[in-house]
Amino acid sequence: MFQAGRTPEQLFTYLKYRILQTDRTTYFELEGISPATGQLVARSLAEDGEVERRSPTLGYDSATEIFSVNMATFLHNCCLSWTSDQILEAHLQGIFTSNESRHVNLGGNSGFYGSFVSPWTDSYKEPDTYIINYESPSPLPTVVIESGYTESTARLYADRDLWLQGGAPHVNVVILIKWNKRVDNHIDGWIELHRRGGSDVPERFTLFPETPPGTPPQRHLILFRSDLYPGGIVPAGRNANDTWLWSLDSLREHARFAMRMEGLVEA
């Protein structure tokens, strides 16, 4: 077990060894990692060729002094293909023009650092999925999706705080997806949308098990055009309150495919 207070070189060596030796479904955290060490080691690991081939998701939260490593699964990563589908549908429906395609650029697992405010100043974060506006000078995404499978709900909420508070005023929306493995490889899950200046207790939508017959279905998350622009300032002639519906049924389908790949079934 790594002991807090060791040198950056020792932490790098320890984490690299664990990443190269671990299996594909592992998530682990180290607590008490100082800001002077955490971001430096995260960036060094991200640039290491052997580590890169294992495709871990790295994170360091300088507010909590926690370093996290996630060896993601198909289910964990299905939010990326789901978001890609939602962007494609938005273009087909005319929500965005071809000239606005650079306003909704999709990415995943890129490392962001150097643009967070205190006490997250020295953080390093690789979001599972994000949307960034290439036409804006903003150094951070406007929409972030964080998915949790083996990591805890508390860790997801810490990620939310890093993005919405540490990423102010650039990040407008954080979507959290949590998957839970029950007995016999059954999976349940939920999704929440957290918006800057929104409710402290956002509505939670159940993904699995699906809504029982006779109850109102949970079909969409709602994003606004303003969510995609830093400060909510949309291009001239555009309505900030235009809605963009994200299909939860589509997310369920992406999740079902991922579960089949891993021998899992929905609850």
Answer whether residue 1 is part of any domain.
no
pLDDT recorded at residue 215: 64
Answer whether residue 57 is part of any domain.
yes
pLDDT recorded at residue 188: 96
Contacts of 205 (CB under 8 A, 6+ apart): 190, 191, 192, 218, 221, 248
Whether residues 218 and 236 share a domain: the answer is yes
Whether 140 contacts 66, CB under 8 Å? no
CATH number at residue 83: 3.90.1570
Domain boundary among 71, 105, 122: 71
Answer whether residue 3 is part of any domain.
no
Nearest CA to 126 out of 58, 40, 54 is that of 58
Whether residues 60 and 116 share a domain: the answer is no
The count of domains in the chain is: 2
Answer whether residue 156 is part of any domain.
yes
Q: What are the tens digits of pLDDT across the range 150-161?
A: 889 999 999 999
Gap between the Cα atoms of 141 and 150, Å rounded: 25
Per DSSP bridges, beta strands 112-113 and 173-181 are unpaired
Answer whether residue 178 is part of any domain.
yes
Q: What are the tens digits of pLDDT across the range 161-192?
A: 999 999 999 999 999 999 999 989 999 999 99
The 3-state DSSP class for residue 188 equals: strand
Domain boundary among 71, 90, 116: 71
Whether residues 65 and 107 share a domain: the answer is no
Whether residues 138 and 151 share a domain: the answer is yes
pLDDT recorded at residue 28: 93
> Which ranges of the chain have pLDDT less than 50?
none
Whether residues 225 and 93 share a domain: the answer is yes
pLDDT recorded at residue 76: 94
Answer whether residue 149 is part of any domain.
yes
- Structural domain of 58: 8-71
Whether residues 112 and 199 share a domain: the answer is yes
Whether residues 61 and 116 share a domain: the answer is no
The number of residues making up the chain comes to 267
Whether residues 28 and 130 share a domain: the answer is no
Whether residues 66 and 92 share a domain: the answer is no
Answer whether residue 242 is part of any domain.
yes
* Amino acid found at 8: P
Whether residues 65 and 83 share a domain: the answer is no
Gap between the Cα atoms of 187 and 260, Å rounded: 11
Answer whether residue 17 is part of any domain.
yes
pTM attached to this predicted model = 0.94
Whether residues 133 and 228 share a domain: the answer is yes
Domain boundary among 42, 71, 100: 71
The CA distances from residue 32 to 26, 66, 126, 197, 248, in Å, are: 20, 6, 20, 31, 38
Whether residues 103 and 166 share a domain: the answer is yes
